[in-house]
């Protein structure tokens, strides 16, 4: 029996990995009330979801951000954050951190 190759991004880990939703919810809970504005955290979650190709999560985080007052332009710009001036320095840092952590497996020596 062969083991399937692991990919740097996994489709819908919540449906594949037992306990994944609990771990994701615990991670989200521990990042709240740590001095980072909720909207900035939501942007980071959106970016990680975009990288992972999680359509359900991209939709969820986009809706949450829209409710919080984000514009369509800013939501669309999250994936191209390096080249578009729609973000504060703190938001750029949060997006960069989310991207770096989500892409660990893309590195030679994560």
Tell me whether residue 19 is in a domain: no
Determine the pLDDT at residue 65. 94
Distance of CA 70 to the CA centre of its chain: 16
Q: 104 near 110, Cβ under 8 Å?
A: yes
Provide the 3-class DSSP secondary structure of residue 72.
Answer: helix
Q: Supply the pTM of this predicted model.
A: 0.70
- CA 110 to CA 34: how far, in whole Å? 26
Determine the pLDDT at residue 1. 42
| Residue 84 lies in domain | 37-105
- CA 34 to CA 40: how far, in whole Å? 12
Tell me whether residue 88 is in a domain: yes
Tell me whether residue 13 is in a domain: no
Determine the pLDDT at residue 2. 41
Structurally, the chain folds into a number of domains equal to 1
Tell me whether residue 17 is in a domain: no
- CA 63 to CA 83: how far, in whole Å? 23
Determine the pLDDT at residue 22. 86
Q: Please list the pLDDT of the chain residue by residue as tens digits (110 residues).
A: 444 444 455 556 666 778 877 887 887 788 787 888 888 889 988 998 888 887 888 899 999 999 999 888 888 888 777 777 778 888 888 888 888 888 766 766 65
CATH of the domain at 71: 1.20.1290.10
Q: 19 near 50, Cβ under 8 Å?
A: no
């Amino acid at each position: 029996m062969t083991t399937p190759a692991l990919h740097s991004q996994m489709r819908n880990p919540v449906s594949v990995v037992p306990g994944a939703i609990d771990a994701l919810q615990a991670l989200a809970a521990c990042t709240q009330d740590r001095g980072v504005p909720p909207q900035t955290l939501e942007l980071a979650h959106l970016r990680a979801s975009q990288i992972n190709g999680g359509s359900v999560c991209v939709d969820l985080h986009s809706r949450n951000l829209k409710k919080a007052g984000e514009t369509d332009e800013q939501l669309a710009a999250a994936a191209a954050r390096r080249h578009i001036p729609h973000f504060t320095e703190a938001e750029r840092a949060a997006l960069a951190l989310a991207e770096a952590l989500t892409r660990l497996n893309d590195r030679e020596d994560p």
